[in-house]
Structure 1
Amino acid sequence: MAIIEAAERLFGSYGIETVSLRQIGLEANVGNKSAVNYHFGDRAELVRAIWQHRLPALEARRKMLLRQMHDRGETRDPHAVARLIILPNYELLDAQGIHRYTAFFRHALRWRQGQELRAREMGTTPASQEALRLLKDLAGDIPQELLFYRLRYACCSLFDMTFDRDGDLAEGRPVMPEDQFLAEGFAMLVSTCLRPVTAVPR
């Protein structure tokens, strides 16, 4: 667990490909230089272990939000769907109140191997699959590949903003109130994902 948490911190701050397994071992304070390789084998398995550690809590929270959406009749509300997609990730904080998981996730979404690994884990998260289905239902004739491309980079942007906001808070700089920050983030995701397809000039 110490290795998983250290990897999440370092990957979130510096990127997945720029951090060595040795650095992760040092951050985790494990004496054996080969401990990370012994327990996880390689970088991809370590990323997968972070997801396996985090996904149960994310899935439970997303299921709760889904039930609330159905009860309120909000499944056709784009902002409610954006909240369903983003909020469980955003709410996952470490002991210091920092969004370590979203910092990690923004790099994992940009890492091609990470995209493939997450796609393989989707079968274990039916509430996440339902959130994507609700988004697809709202997307009309937007091709699925384009929709998911937009979603990936909208999430990356929002989680970049979250990382920067955490840094500003830590340094005592003024930040946008959290409710307004999230409302802006949800609106950004909706406008990015669901805008009509741009016609390509001939």
Structure 2
Amino acid sequence: MARTSGPETRDKLIRAAEELFAAQGVHGAQLRDVVTRAGQANPSAVQYHFGSRDGLLDAVMAGRQARTESVLAPLLAAAPDELRALVAALVTAEASELRTDRGRRCLRISAQLSHESGVRTRTPHPTLAGTGYWRLIERIADRLAAGGLPEPLLLERLDLALTMVGAAMADRARQYLDGAEPLTGEALFLTDLVETTTALLRAAQPEQATHQQGKDPS
């Protein structure tokens, strides 16, 4: 067994966590199994290198975010301030993770964390603070605000749209990992996801929204 020190061991733990978090769930996977999968003898290896399960999860997501950012940067620079173009940049960047098994596992993990991004409070999760991904979210939010969507509804709708994109990507990733045959080719899948997400965001504001903002439906 390898000793628990150095960047090589950290990487082994991260890769083991990606496999188990994707297959068994972020909260279902046992840290002792992560340690064993990484080939480590010290049962406290995760605590030693990352402090906690959350620290390990943040490291997994930081790596996934770094890969996506490299794809997103030129797309974000070229995208006009038009809703469909911004959604297309988001979907294209996320789809880059479908190219590898590692990325596919991380898409499955991300979908479990979709409501932890901070969108609903406009306060990014630490792994998203200062990223191109968060700037893209803000640009999409600005487009929705310019269309007259009130803030509470805007944030709920944006969070729902991001959750939908994440779930769709995770399901596609699962099919690839399982060797299943998708119903549609990838190009059609991605184009339809852009159109569907854009349509969701552009949906007409309910008439009662102006009268019931923030009110309990009861």
TM bin, normalised by shorter chain, reads 0.7 to 0.9
Larger radius of gyration: 2
Matches for 1:2-41 after TM superposition, within 5 Å: 2-41=12-51
Matched, 1:182 2:187: no
Partner of 2:206: 198
Shift in Å, 1:90: 2.1
Match in the other structure for 1:165: 172
Could you say which residue in structure 2 is the equivalent of 1:137?
142
Deviations 1:124-170 (A, max 9, x none): 31x22321222122212223443333333333333333333344343
Deviations 1:93-120 (A, max 9, x none): 474475222111111224589x999522
The corresponding residue for 1:92 is 97
Greater Cα shift, 57-66 or 141-150? 141-150
Partner of residue 69, structure 2 = 59
Cross-structure match for 1:120? 126
Query: Compared with structure 1, are the counterparts of its residues 158 and 129 closer, same or farther at alpha carbon in structure 2 (3 Å cutoff)?
Result: closer
Higher relative contact order (CA 8 A, sep 6+): 1
**Mapped partners of 1:149, 1:26: distance in 2:** 40
Instruction: Give the RMSD, CA atoms, in angstroms.
Output: 2.9
Following TM superposition, by how much is the alpha carbon of 1:67 offset from its aligned partner in structure 2, in angstroms?
A: 2.2
Identical aligned residues as a percent: 22
3-state secondary structure, aligned to 2:42 = coil
Flag structure 2 segments of 5+ consecutive residues without an equivalent: 1-10, 213-218
Could you tell me the TM-score, scaled by structure 2's length? 0.74
Verify the 8 A CA contact 2:64 2:103 in the aligned structure 1. no
The aligned residue for residue 161 of structure 2 is 154
State whether residues 85 and 131 of structure 1, in contact with CA within 8 Å, keep that contact through their aligned partners in structure 2. Answer: yes
Equivalences, count = 195
Where structure 1 has 5 or more consecutive residues not aligned to the other structure, the ranges are none
Q: 2: distance between equivalents of 1:129 and 1:167?
A: 26
Residue 75 (structure 1) aligns with: 81
Q: CA deviation at 1:7?
A: 1.6
Asked if the contact 1:165–1:175 (Cα under 8 Å) also holds between the matched residues in 2, the reply is no
Q: Distance in 2 between matches of 1:34 and 1:118?
A: 30
Deviates more, 1:38-47 or 1:151-160: 151-160
